[in-house]
Amino acid sequence: MLTYVIRRLIGAVAMLVVVSMVTFAIFFVVPQLAGATPEAFASRYVGRAATPETVQLIAERLGFNDPVVVQYARFAKGIVVGAEYDYGTGVEHCPVPCLGYSFLNQQPVWPDLLDRMPVTFSLALGAAIIWLIAGVSTGVVSALRRGSFFDRLAMGTALAGVSLPIFFTGMVTLVVFSYGLNLTAPGGSWTDFGENPGEWAYNLILPWITLAFLFAATYARLTRAGMLETMGEDYIRTARAKGLREREVVVKHGLRAALTPILTLFGLDFGLLIGGAVLTESTYSLPGLGKYAIDAIANNDLPKVMGVTLLTACFVVLASLIVDLLYAVVDPRVRLS
Amino acid sequence: MRRKTASAAAAGAVLALVLSACGGGGGTPQEPGAKGADAVKQEFNAGLTKVFNPSTKKGGTLKYAHSGNWDSLDPGDTYYGYSFNFGRYYWRTLTTYKPVPGPEGNQVVPDLAEALGVPGDEGKTWTYKLKSGLKFEDGTPITSKDVAYAVARSFDKEVFAHGPSYLNELLDWPKDYKGAIKDKDADIKSAIETPDDQTIVFKLKKPFASFDYIVQMPMTAPVPQAKDTGAKYQEHVISSGPYMFETNEIDKRFTLVRNPNWDPATDPNRPALPDKIEVQLQVNADDLDNRLIAGDIHVDIPGTGMQPAALGKVLPDPALKGRTDNPTIPRLWFISVIPDVAPLNDVHCRRAVQYAADKVSNQTAYGGEFSGGEIATNVMPPGISGQEKFDPYPSAGFKGDVAKAKEELAACGKPDGFETIMSFRADRPREKALAEAMEQSLAKVGIKLTLKGFPASDYFSNYAGNPEYVKKNGIGLAAHGWGSDWPDGYGFLQAIIDSRTIRDAGNYNLSVKNTDVDKLVDQASAELDQTAREKLWVDADKKVMEDASILPVLWAKSLLMRGQGVTNQFYNEGQSMYDYSMLGVQ
């Protein structure tokens, strides 16, 4: 078990190194292959009044004239030991893990990410609880009552949930519940949990439900399919023949086996979400990692985009690892070695 | 204390005078004796010519939201119109726009200065005398040296990259000067002199008549040298205006509260009505419109108009439409007709393009009259001081004149037409639609366009604004847009018609390369007499149209919505949006 975990952790670190290289190449090498000059990179950090001389100075100061390998080595070194950035009128220390420095707002990226993490984590956690409970229980009941009115209604609703994009459902819910009925908080509302838990939940309830609606639909359909398959297995018949109570048959033998693919999906979904629920945060103007990423893309602020990308990759790799470890708990047939 | 009360009373009286003057001639849109939001009579375009919902009531919180983010809150490092407008809450400049609706709003009036600038040496020097009693938020007196320092620090475009560079180019700076932060002890008397704490003299390389407009920009907002943190100054700007920063979470939100050291007796331009101003950044643009409609926020900061999603909801609803204003703003959407690329090097071929263009289709491509704009027939938009409308390439119903276009094609030796490339910003659907409309209308006279979209972020640096790329790739037409930095001929025209501004990359003048135009720019820039100056700019406009190197498409319009419960709201022509410094809440 321990060997397995260590081996996976080493694999995860190697994966992150590769991700960082690929990300760096996408942002800095590919544009160069397409003809972008160091000045073209620098021009993203200057205003419209900048002269060519200013752009050249900025390119030099930001190191865009250095070979790509040197630029990557500088970036990687920053992650491991931190870095110093000259912002023109001073030098700022970027603490470990320094994921870059935004010269558009003169801030290191990592503290920004830390600042925004609670928003995204709160959103993802609340939504995940709702969609897991709603999605899995709906899927189970639908499977047990296959063909019933409930099954048809639930699967119809699930189809709508999967089909409707969140920027649409988000806008509609805001207009109806926040601006029409004044039941929920308007867009952009965020309170830290430690500051006021009640307000924290009030501000997030609409994004939670909207986001959960999308995911619950997928999970309901997946659970239903898994349960239908599992409940037809021989060992379920055996369990019933042994005289086990139906609840025990369904939960202990049926659901447990059907949960394995759901757990895999959940790990990836949750990992991606805590790396930034881009559409939900944008629709509800929540100052989380997703909104941070989308605004950075809009402003061509590459260090921020790279920072979020790497952080998301970390979360996905971590979530996958946790899911693999949980397999052994959920499915007794799995042995970690 | 007594002086403060008297000052407040004086400022209130001035505001009352401004409001009554603005509302004169036809009454205000507010019903007599009306109280509360429900009693205000909403009316489409009510904020264009009058002060809507006038009031002198102080207090409350004014809520702003922005779908994007500031380039910088530092007065020396910002170049957005909304930033110039909003910044007047926490900075004061030598001059500012007259806070009134209508054409008078594009005139400048003194702000920190006692009077407008006094030109000397035929416009090569400009002298301003500061009012007495001016203070920073910490109570330190504001002197001419703080203004001089602010201008000198903003010289450094490596650090303050976003701000305008007009004063870098106009003033006679010492050779190899690097700005006040890097060259602390440099003698800059060749550019700026401060003979005493009240007086500042700007020394220019050549005569320049529009200097009063230049110094309304925030580069002249005073910065105390002792508190200057350079590139980090935007985190805490020391206020010289009626409000100061209470909180500032960069990229997220900030709040302003009253500056106790601002003396209203020195400032007749700002009533400073709300007690607090809240700003939320990076708000979803569609949600922002919904919140504005619902009254959850008061003002959409960028002031560029509502999103297409909201237009469909607002325009058909009389109640919502009644809350909007639809000004023509000093911005031109146009097509550069580039003479570097054959056969457009022949003026007759360029004129063929002018005649063949179906301007109605172009307007439709830009979203129609309300959100697109008014069909443009010459370069300078209405709202620019002294502007004249003329149409050198007329056609019935603006649908294009095929016969005239063919005559011009014959005159340039291409009777059957020619082929060229039209560039546009691929991430701007309206420019793409414009290019498609042009493709169709020019095809009627045999001009075949190949359309090429480029990313907006690199459009001017790498593609349409890069002369080498344009020539090498045969780009004959390029979609473009330009707004004025200030509402006179120089502020709008110079950057897009002066051929001497053209450099290796990053150009905004893509097509006007005419020495006669350059001469007119020089003459107009130096002409101190306003009437004569305005005529020269109209002449320059006519010369560009004769040269046919700019095909005007639309004088842009925007659909702005007035906030619920907001007082003193009106469109100011100088700011090209609502005048933020005048707003209050009921």
Mark yes or no for CB contact A89/B161 under 8 Å.
no
Same-domain pairing of A167 and A56: no
In a domain, A104, yes or no: no
Q: Do B232 and A295 touch (CB under 8 A)?
A: no
The total number of structural domains that make up chain A: 2
pLDDT tens sequence across B471-483? 999 999 999 999 9
Comparing A3-7, A184-188, B9-13, B229-233, the range with the smallest average pLDDT is: B9-13
Residue A134: per-residue pLDDT:
94
Taking an 8 Å cut-off on Cβ atoms, the answer to whether A49 and B162 are in contact is yes
CA distance A276 to A259: 25
Residue A203 and residue A166 share a domain: yes
Is A103 inside any structural domain? no
pLDDT at B17 (0 to 100) = 39
Return mean pLDDT, chain B: 91
Is A47 in the same domain as A124?
Answer: no
Contact across the interface for B284 and A54, Cβ inside 8 Å: no
Q: What is the three-state SS of chain A?
A: CHHHHHHHHHHHHHHHHHHHHHHHHHHHHHHHHCCCCHHHHHHHHCCCCCCHHHHHHHHHHCCCCCCHHHHHHHHHHHHHHCEEEECCCCEEEECCCCCCEECCCCEEHHHHHHHHHHHHHHHHHHHHHHHHHHHHHHHHHHHHCCCCHHHHHHHHHHHHHHHCCHHHHHHHHHHHHHHHCCCCCCCCCCCCCCCCHHHHHHHHHHHHHHHHHHHHHHHHHHHHHHHHHHCCCHHHHHHHHCCCCHHHHHHHHHHHHHHHHHHHHHHHHHHHHHCCCHHHHHHCCCCCHHHHHHHHHHCCCHHHHHHHHHHHHHHHHHHHHHHHHHHHHHCCCCCCC
Instruction: Using the predicted structure, report yes or no on whether residue A1 has a pLDDT greater than 90.
Output: no
Same domain, A83 and A188: no
**Confidence check: pLDDT of B461 > 90:** no
Give residue B8's pLDDT band: very low, low, confident or very high (50, 70, 90). Answer: very low
Within 10 angstroms of residue A17's Cβ, the number of other Cβ atoms is: 12
What's the rounded mean pLDDT across residues B135-159? 96
For residues B382 and B530, what is the distance between their CA atoms, to the nearest angstrom?
Answer: 17
A33 and A160 belong to one structural domain:
no
Rg (chain A; Cα; Å): 24
> Given this model, what pLDDT does residue A47 score?
66
Residues of B in contact with A47 (CB under 8 A): 71, 77, 79, 161-163
In terms of domains, do A10 and A145 share one? Answer: no
Integer Cα distance of A211 and A284 in angstroms: 11
A240 burial class (0-12, 13-18, 19+ CB within 10 angstroms)? Answer: middle
In a domain, A263, yes or no: yes
pLDDT band at A48 (very low <50, low <70, confident <90, very high): low
Band (pLDDT 50/70/90 cuts) for residue B161 is: confident
Task: Name the residue of chain A whose CA is nearest to B458's CA.
Answer: A40
Which residue, among B507, B585, B491, B565, has the nearest Cα to B81 in the 3D structure? B491
Q: Which of A44, A77, A98 is the last residue of a domain?
A: A98
pLDDT band at B14 (very low <50, low <70, confident <90, very high): very low
A87 plus A150 within the same structural domain: no
Domain assignment present for residue A105? The answer is no
Residue A336 domain flag: no
Residue B32 has pLDDT above 60, yes or no: no
The reply to whether A230 and A319 lie within a common domain is yes
Q: Is residue A10 part of a domain?
A: yes
Across-strand partners of B248?
Answer: B254
Whether A201 shows a pLDDT value over 50: the answer reads yes
Say whether A89 and B162 touch across the interface (CB within 8 A): no
Report residue B438: phi and psi, to 5°: -65, -40
Nearest CB neighbour to B457, from listed A44, A61, A287: A44
Under 8 Å between Cβ of B253 and B64: no
Out of A31, A65, A98, a domain closes at A98
Residues A67 and A194 in one domain: no
**Residue B455 binned pLDDT confidence (cut-offs 50, 70, 90):** confident
The pLDDT score that the predictor gives to residue A333 is 67
If asked whether residues A170 and A287 sit together in one domain, one would say: yes
Q: How many helices (H) and strands (E) does chain B have?
A: 18, 23
Distance of alpha carbon A168 from alpha carbon A3, whole angstroms: 47
In a domain, A187, yes or no: yes
Does residue B153 surpass a pLDDT of 80?
A: yes
pLDDT at A205: 96
Q: Tell me whether residues A174 and B290 touch, CB distance under 8 A.
A: yes
Contacts of A178 in chain B (CB under 8 A): 294, 296
Q: Which of A38, A70, A98 is the last residue of a domain?
A: A98
Question: For residue A300, what is the domain's CATH number?
Answer: 1.10.3720.10
Taking only the tens place, the pLDDT of each residue in B246-264 is 999 988 999 999 999 999 9
Domains and CATH numbers, chain B: 109-231 (3.40.190.10), 328-557 (3.10.105.10)
B296–chain A nearest CA distance, Å:
8
Of the residues B64, B156, B159, B228, the best mutation for testing chain A's interface (the one with the most A CB atoms within 10 Å of its CB) is B159
Considering only CB atoms, B287 lies closest to which of A55, A90, A285, namely: A285
What integer pLDDT is reported at residue B39 of this predicted model? 55
CA distance A221 to chain B (A): 31
* Position B30 pLDDT exceeds 50: no
Residues of A in contact with B462 (CB under 8 A): 35-36, 40
A73/chain B closest Cα distance in angstroms:
25
| Residue B522: burial class (beta carbons within 10 Å; 0-12, 13-18, 19+) | middle
Contacts of B497 (CB under 8 A, 6+ apart): B379, B509, B512, B517, B521, B540, B544, B550
Q: Which residues of chain B make contact with A46, given a CB cutoff of 8 A?
A: 157, 161-162
**Percentage of chain B modeled with pLDDT above 90:** 82
Identify whether residues A218 and A76 lie together within a single domain.
no
- pLDDT at res. B493: 96
| pLDDT bucket at A90, cuts 50 / 70 / 90 | confident
Instruction: Verify whether the Cβ–Cβ distance B232 to A106 is below 8 Å.
Output: yes
- Residue range(s) defining the domain that contains residue A44: 2-98
Q: Which residues does B contribute to its contact with A (CB < 8 Å)? A: 65, 68-69, 71, 77, 79, 156-159, 161-165, 181, 229-232, 234, 250-252, 280, 282-284, 286-288, 290-291, 293-294, 296, 457-458, 461-462, 503-506, 508
Over 70: is that where the pLDDT of B35 sits? no
- pLDDT tens, position by position, B534-582: 999 999 999 999 999 999 999 999 999 999 999 999 999 999 999 999 9
Q: What is the mean pLDDT of residues B385-412?
A: 96
pLDDT band at A11 (very low <50, low <70, confident <90, very high): confident
Residue A225 within a domain:
yes
Span B62-106, pLDDT tens digits? 999 999 888 899 999 998 999 999 999 999 999 999 999 999 999
- A276 and A311 co-located in one domain: yes
Which has the closest alpha carbon to B380: B217, B212, B524, B519? B524
Cβ–Cβ < 8 Å for B7, B264: yes
